[in-house]
């Protein structure tokens, strides 16, 4: 019965489990890892509620154990993309017209499945597919994905309840219509949570989706899809295809019913999408919504009043957790000369204890980088840095791909604040540090603001309150997520809505009301209770 108004309480963030030795969650996760390592998944595409297999497959290996096949996935082609679009469009009317609370209930159920019976499964899949350690998998796949799904429902309820005022004699309402057409969700390798959210958020608002995950994340994306299915997602609402990225994108961006793209990935790809949409504008029925969260060159700048332990910890965690493959990872830092020696001493002592290896061993901090392409790209940056006379490699700089794509945490000290590794996104465990004269804070803040094209995350580490105010103001436009006395990673849904401006994206803040608003097209309805019955107005009468 639609005769009710549900009250949606503000959700709590999913608690992060500890995985201490002998804990129940640790035992379950170990069992699940062993189970998954003992079988080879056969991963189909998913179109119109059906598993679709083809004659062409590609193998999947954990990035940290390249001789152990864990799955194969079925590659699609243009026909499958077309089928996915058709399936989405046929599912649209029923899904869009379903009471929103019923749609919400599917995603709330999915969140509970993730937090409960599927927790070990989705975490194990993420550890194996993306080489995340247990903690990184837990905060991503279990907690952040459950948070996205629950907070989206809470924000959707707020949006739907936002209504215009009505003057006497009329009733005004806003209907938050889903977009007319289908949404294209293109997802990155690095967060299982993002992969699920990019299709789930527009779907919650009544849209239908074609989802193309990153090839290097298909293994965990498939587990997300399985959970959505178990939660009761109707056929055709989210269709998952594994066809060539360029071919899929070209076909979709030329479709008249293309209504929007929900993208997270690199800036170059999003630029290309935007340009193509511009060229194809005449083909579309609507102006498509373009939502893209893209690259970063995230910074930490310390003031001479910084607490050295806080600074060293923020640099190490910010730069090297998940092998530096977070869009928010710290990859450039600015430390005043007065505290550099003490900071480096702390960092060096800690770095010597870092354990790198197979993440299935829970004592390991850093796993492998995602792929051979990433390995080549990152090690190329390291070699270029080594050959620059302005640089000193303070730590690491070695790598080895015999068993997996392993790269040491690498710290570069540079004399040139505009050197290559200070400017470009590397997306690996490489941190470049520039030591500035503490008298030159203003000039250094200007450097922080102008050195890269991105503006995603940044942090300042300082104790002096006036310095904090000054740095915060000078860096107003340098980051969409700004931290004071903390690392620049680890945004939590509902607490630090995430996204950046400049070439870091459209800053629609994933997991927030602002993002959900992009997936609706409001219709304003005015109903007159006492309607006029003659054209003339009173002022027209004779004197
Ligand atoms: P990527 O750009 O290589 O891939 C992202 C997606 O785009 C994948 O599904 C990929 O298959 C697809 N793709 C690749 N080339 C394409 C093309 N020519 N046309 C259409 N689609 C194409 O990114 P990635 O390596 O998966 O992820 C890392 C990038 O994502 C980094 O730049 C990182 O900063 C960014 N990222 C940003 C955020 C954020 O919130 N701002 C979050 C996570 C990752």
217 and 189: one domain? yes
- Residue 70 forms part of a structural domain: no
Asked if 276 and 345 sit in the same domain, the reply is: no
435 domain residue, yes or no: yes
How far is residue 10's CA from residue 107's CA, in Å, rounded to a whole number?
15
Q: What is the pLDDT of residues 111-159, one digit of tens each?
A: 999 999 999 999 999 999 999 999 999 999 999 999 999 999 999 999 9
Cα atoms in the Cβ-side hemisphere of radius 13 Å centred on 288:
32
Domain boundary, last residue among 432, 450, 484: 484
Q: What is the mean pLDDT of residues 396-416?
A: 98
Catalytic residue among 65, 144, 293, 321: 293
**Is residue 455 lining ligand 1, measured as CB closer than 6 Å?**
no
pLDDT of 4 reads: 83
Residue 5, pLDDT score: 80
- The confidence band for 221, taking pLDDT boundaries of 50, 70 and 90, is very high
Residue 339 domain flag: yes
3-state secondary structure 413-441: EECCCCCHHHHCCCCCCEEEEEEECHHHH
Whether residue 284 is found in the same domain as residue 397? no
Catalytic residue list contains 488: no
Report the mean per-residue pLDDT for the chain. Answer: 97
What's the pLDDT tens digit per position in 415-433?
999 999 999 999 999 999 9
Closest CA to 76 of 67, 68, 84, 64: 84
542 in a structural domain? no
- What confidence tens digit (pLDDT) does each residue in 73-107 have? 999 999 999 999 999 999 999 999 999 999 999 99
229 within domain boundaries: yes
Q: Are residues 377 and 452 in the same domain?
A: yes
Q: Which of 431, 453, 484 is at the close of a domain?
A: 484
**What per-residue confidence (pLDDT) applies to 3?**
83
Residue 218's pLDDT band, with cuts at 50, 70 and 90, is very high
Decide if 56 is inside a domain.
no
Residues 211, 306, single domain; the answer is no
Provide, rounded to the nearest whole percent, the portion of the chain with pLDDT above 90.
98
Distance CA 186, CA 163 (A): 32
Q: What is the pLDDT of residue 8?
A: 86
> Is residue 58 in a domain?
no
For every residue of 73-105, which 3-state class applies, written as one string? EECECHHHHHHHHHHHHHHHHHHHHCCHHHHHH
Pairing of strands 430-436, 410-414: parallel
420 and 351 in one domain?
A: yes
Give the integer Cα–Cα distance in Å for 88 and 49.
10
Joined tokens for residue 122: 């989705």
Per-residue model confidence (pLDDT) at position 79: 98
Report pLDDT for 2: 73
Q: Which residue has the tokens 């290896």?
A: 357
Q: Is the same domain home to 212 and 308?
A: no
Q: State the residue range of the domain holding 207.
A: 77-294+505-526
How far, in Å, from the CA of 195 to the mean position of ligand 1? 11
**Nearest alpha carbon, ligand 1 atom 18:** 246
Looking at the fold, whether 209 and 285 belong to one and the same domain comes out as yes
For the chain, how many structural domains are there in total? 2
pLDDT of 542 reads 87
- Statement to judge: residues 343 and 285 lie in one domain: no
Name the pTM for this structure.
Answer: 0.97
Chain segment 480-523, per-residue pLDDT in tens: 999 999 999 999 999 999 999 999 999 999 999 999 999 999 99
**Residue 322 and residue 175 share a domain:** no
Q: Confirm whether 327 is a catalytic residue.
A: yes
| Averaged pLDDT for residues 35-51 | 98
pLDDT for 248-303, tens place per residue? Answer: 999 999 999 999 999 999 999 999 999 999 999 999 999 999 999 999 999 999 99
Q: Is residue 517 part of a domain?
A: yes
Take atom 13 of ligand 1 and give the residue whose Cα is closest.
Answer: 245
543: confidence class by pLDDT, cuts 50, 70, 90: confident
Instruction: List, in sequence order, every residue forming a beta bridge with 289; answer none if it has no partner.
Output: 260
User: In the predicted model, is pLDDT for residue 1 greater than 80?
Assistant: no
With a 6 A CB cut-off, is 511 part of the ligand 1 pocket?
no
CA 216 to chain centroid: 15
* Residue 326: pLDDT over 90: yes
Examine the domain organization and report whether 187 and 318 are in the same domain.
no
Choose the final residue of a domain: 450, 484, 518.
Answer: 484
Predicted confidence at residue 354, as pLDDT, reads 98
Q: For ligand 1, say whether the CB of 190 is within 6 Å of any of its atoms.
A: yes
| Selected residue with higher pLDDT from 2 and 409 | 409
Residue 7, pLDDT score: 83
The CATH number assigned to the domain holding 403 equals 3.40.309.10
Q: Are residues 358 and 235 in the same domain?
A: no
| Averaged pLDDT, 204-208 | 98
Looking at residue 255, which CATH number applies to its domain?
Answer: 3.40.605.10
């Amino acid at each position: 019965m639609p005769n009710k108004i549900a009250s949606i309480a503000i959700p709590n963030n999913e608690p992060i489990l500890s995985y201490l030795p002998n804990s129940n969650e640790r035992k379950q996760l170990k069992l699940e890892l062993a189970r998954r390592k003992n079988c080879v998944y056969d991963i189909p595409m998913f179109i119109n509620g059906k598993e679709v297999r083809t004659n062409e497959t590609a193998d999947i290996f954990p990035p940290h154990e390249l001789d152990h096949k864990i799955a194969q996935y079925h590659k699609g082609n243009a026909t499958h993309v077309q089928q996915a679009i058709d399936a989405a469009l046929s599912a649209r009317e029923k899904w869009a017209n379903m009471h929103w609370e019923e749609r919400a209930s599917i995603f709330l159920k999915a969140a509970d499945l993730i937090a409960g019976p599927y927790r070990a499964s989705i975490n194990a899949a993420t550890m194996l597919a993306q080489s995340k350690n247990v903690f990184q998998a837990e905060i991503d796949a279990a907690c952040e994905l459950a948070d996205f799904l629950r907070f989206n429902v809470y924000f959707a309820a707020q949006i739907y309840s936002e209504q215009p005022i009505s003057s006497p004699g009329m009733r005004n309402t806003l209907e938050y219509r889903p977009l007319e057409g289908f949404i294209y969700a293109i997802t990155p390798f690095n967060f299982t949570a993002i992969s699920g959210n990019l299709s789930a958020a527009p779907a919650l608002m009544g849209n239908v989706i074609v989802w193309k995950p990153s090839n290097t994340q298909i293994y965990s994306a498939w587990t997300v899809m399985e959970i959505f299915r178990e939660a009761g997602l109707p056929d055709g609402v989210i269709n998952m295809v594994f066809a060539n990225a360029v071919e899929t994108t070209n076909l979709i961006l030329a479709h008249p019913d293309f209504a929007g793209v929900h993208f997270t990935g690199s800036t170059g790809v999003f630029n290309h999408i935007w340009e193509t949409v511009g060229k194809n504008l005449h083909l579309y029925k609507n102006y498509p919504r373009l939502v893209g969260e893209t690259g970063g060159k995230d910074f930490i700048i310390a003031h001479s009043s910084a607490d050295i332990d806080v600074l060293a910890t923020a640099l190490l965690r910010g730069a090297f957790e998940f092998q530096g493959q977070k869009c928010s990872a710290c990859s450039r830092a600015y430390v005043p000369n007065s505290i550099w020696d003490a900071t480096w001493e702390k960092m060096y002592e800690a770095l010597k204890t870092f354990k790198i290896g197979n993440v299935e061993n829970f004592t390991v901090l850093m796993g492998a980088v995602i792929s051979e392409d990433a390995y080549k790209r990152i090690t190329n940056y390291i070699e270029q840095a080594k050959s620059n006379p302005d640089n000193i490699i303070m730590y690491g700089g070695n790598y080895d791909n015999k068993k997996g794509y392993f790269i040491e945490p690498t710290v570069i000290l540079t004399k040139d604040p505009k050197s290559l590794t200070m400017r470009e996104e590397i997306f690996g465990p490489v941190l470049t540090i520039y030591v500035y004269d503490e008298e030159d804070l203003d000039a250094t803040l200007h450097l922080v603001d102008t050195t890269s094209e991105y503006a995603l995350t940044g942090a300042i580490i300082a104790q002096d309150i006036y310095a904090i105010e000054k740095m915060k103001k000078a860096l107003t436009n340098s980051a969409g997520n700004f931290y004071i006395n903390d690392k620049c990673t680890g945004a939590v849904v509902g607490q630090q809505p995430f996204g950046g401006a400049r070439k870091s994206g459209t800053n629609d803040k994933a997991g927030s009301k602002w993002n959900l608003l992009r997936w609706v097209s409001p219709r304003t309805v005015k109903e007159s209770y006492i309607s006029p019955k003659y054209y003339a107005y009173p002022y027209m009468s004779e004197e």
